[in-house]
Amino acid sequence: MTAPGGKLPAVPWADVAAQGGIRPWVEAELARLGLADPGAPSTMSDGEKKAYKARREEERRVRRELFRVAWAAYKAAHIVHLGPGVWWHDTADVDRFDAAEPERRRAERDLPPLADVAALAQALGLSVARLRWLTYHREVDSGSHYHRWTVPKRDGGLRPISAPKPELKAAQRWIARQVTEHLPVHGAAHGFLPGRSIATNAAVHAGAAIVVKLDIEGFYPTVTFRRVKGLLRKAGLGEQVATLMALLATEAPREELILRGRPHFVATGPRALPQGAPTSPSITNALCLRLDCRLSGLARKLGARYSRYADDLTFSWHGDAARAADAGNAIGKLLRAVTMIVADEGFVIKRSKTRVMRGGGRQKVTGLVVNAAPDRPAARVPRDVQRRLRAAIRNRELGRPGRGESLEALRGMAAYVMMTDRERGRAFMARLDRLARQAGDPPAGSEPT
């Protein structure tokens, strides 16, 4: 600590806490600097009064500076506040919302031991101040942690995409890999899981006589900050860590406005899972565990099969079960029950996207055709997609411009075909590799497994 009259340097919070807190530390420092007020004697000369007054002025100046330094140390080690509408307390304590046996729950899910804010910040490679900056909620913000744009949907609407900027994305990836991807998921879930894909989801319903598809409306926006925090609390994480993780994984939908020549991002709804964050798929899979359990039980009761890929729910009947379903009006019972169960789990079915597909017509599940066909894969890429790919490759081989598809885009289509029909996809990829060599480009990497 510098002598009186100089600027005081920063101190670690541990030193302040060791004195019992901010005020005791300030008093101890004043005493160490020889500025503690001994009290004025009953009689003083004019010179003594002047010296005493100057001493008190210096004491007050140093006291203010010591409080500033101590408060800065506190803020460097504590979150303090997370914005309007977010409850926070810096003292980690036990409350009635804690899960029973949290240590056992964390151990069962192989979750890291994150006791407090400091442990989480260290795990994420962030300072507490930086963690506060990433999680702080503002109704109107002059900046954003996300890049935002929209992509067209098949129904003609626009899907908002919110891609996190690098620092937040790194934190979200850590949370996904170390926490949310460890939470239990139902076997009927096929989206964004190792060894699962749109192909495994469609294969469940291959060769069905009846396929029923339903879609959950506003899937990610429905999963709000409170639901994410509740999921993490149930997994055994404490109040502080669960709050910060839920804030890192959610964001409010925002509208960009220009005020006085500067962009401002105004919240237009509650914080929820953004489309484009690495944490969103694993959180929804874990959150839908009970939904999947209930819908799987309903399917068994009605003699059907069930699977879910993100917000797509698919049921199917095969063989004799399909005839029994028709005779017992099982489709109507299914639609009514699914609507009620989904609503009970906090979601809503988008009625306009509900489809009942019978074997006499084309049946598609997550974009793949599942109609029974001899000598064809159980689930396969539609023929029109394969025809477009074949024509585009042929145009390139003949030196024609085609529709302007890039070589990488065609490789992506070939990999898509290879996912369900390895031989056909490999043949497409070999032709594209020949074209790449002719153009001087490197061949494609190893084929997908």
Q: Per-residue pLDDT for the chain (449 aa), expressed as one digit of tens each?
A: 454 556 778 899 999 999 999 999 999 999 998 888 777 677 778 887 888 888 889 899 999 999 999 999 999 999 999 999 999 999 876 677 788 888 999 999 999 999 899 999 999 999 999 999 999 999 999 999 999 998 888 777 788 899 999 999 999 999 999 999 999 999 999 999 999 999 999 999 999 999 999 999 999 999 999 999 999 999 999 999 999 999 999 999 999 898 888 989 999 999 999 999 999 999 999 999 999 999 999 999 999 999 999 999 999 999 999 999 988 899 999 999 999 999 999 999 999 999 999 998 999 999 999 998 887 888 999 999 999 999 999 999 998 887 888 899 999 999 999 999 999 999 999 999 999 998 877 666 544 44
| Beta carbons within 8 Å of 71's beta carbon, 6+ residues apart | 22
Residue 291, H or E segment: helix 289-301
Q: In this structure, are residues 193 and 292 in contact, taking their beta carbons and an 8 Å threshold?
A: no
From the centroid of its chain, how far is CA 364? 28
Q: In this structure, are residues 407 and 432 in contact, taking their beta carbons and an 8 Å threshold?
A: yes
SS3 263: strand
**C-alpha pair distances (Å), 285 with each of 142, 163, 183:** 33, 20, 9
Question: What is the rounded distance in angstroms from the CA atom of residue 364 to the CA atom of residue 382?
Answer: 9
The terminus-to-terminus CA distance of the chain in angstroms comes to 63
pLDDT in tens, 302-333: 999 999 999 999 999 999 999 999 888 999 99
Joined together, the tokens standing for residue 171 give: 């934190």
User: In residues, how long is the chain?
Assistant: 449
Stated pTM of the model: 0.88
Q: What is the pLDDT, as a whole number, of residue 175?
A: 98
Q: What is the pLDDT, as a whole number, of residue 100?
A: 85
Return the amino acid letter for 187. G
Question: What is the rounded distance in angstroms from the CA atom of residue 371 to the CA atom of residue 360?
Answer: 9
Q: In this structure, are residues 381 and 243 in contact, taking their beta carbons and an 8 Å threshold?
A: no
Q: Among positive and negative, which fits the CA dihedral 129, 225, 96, 101?
A: negative
DSSP-assigned letters across all residues of 350-400: -GGG-EEEETTS--EETTEE----TTS-SSB--HHHHHHHHHHHHHHHTT-
From the centroid of its chain, how far is CA 443? 34
SS3 61: helix
- Beta-strand ranges (E) seen in 153-209 are 158-164
SS3 174: helix
Q: In this structure, are residues 232 and 242 in contact, taking their beta carbons and an 8 Å threshold?
A: yes
Return the amino acid letter for 4. P
Question: What is the rounded distance in angstroms from the CA atom of residue 233 to the CA atom of residue 287?
Answer: 12
Q: What is the pLDDT, as a whole number, of residue 443?
A: 65
Q: What is the pLDDT, as a whole number, of residue 55?
A: 85
Question: What is the rounded distance in angstroms from the CA atom of residue 348 to the CA atom of residue 397?
Answer: 49
DSSP-assigned letters across all residues of 82-122: --TT----SS----TTSPSSHHHHHHHTT-----SHHHHHH
**C-alpha pair distances (Å), 294 with each of 231, 328, 437:** 18, 21, 53
Question: What is the rounded distance in angstroms from the CA atom of residue 265 to the CA atom of residue 299?
Answer: 44
Q: What is the pLDDT, as a whole number, of residue 446?
A: 47
Question: What is the rounded distance in angstroms from the CA atom of residue 309 to the CA atom of residue 104?
Answer: 30
With tokens 């220009």, the residue in question is 258
From the centroid of its chain, how far is CA 107? 22
Helices 22-32 and 46-77 pack at an angle, to 10 degrees, of 140
Residue 242, H or E segment: helix 239-249
SS3 349: strand
Question: What is the rounded distance in angstroms from the CA atom of residue 349 to the CA atom of residue 420?
Answer: 29
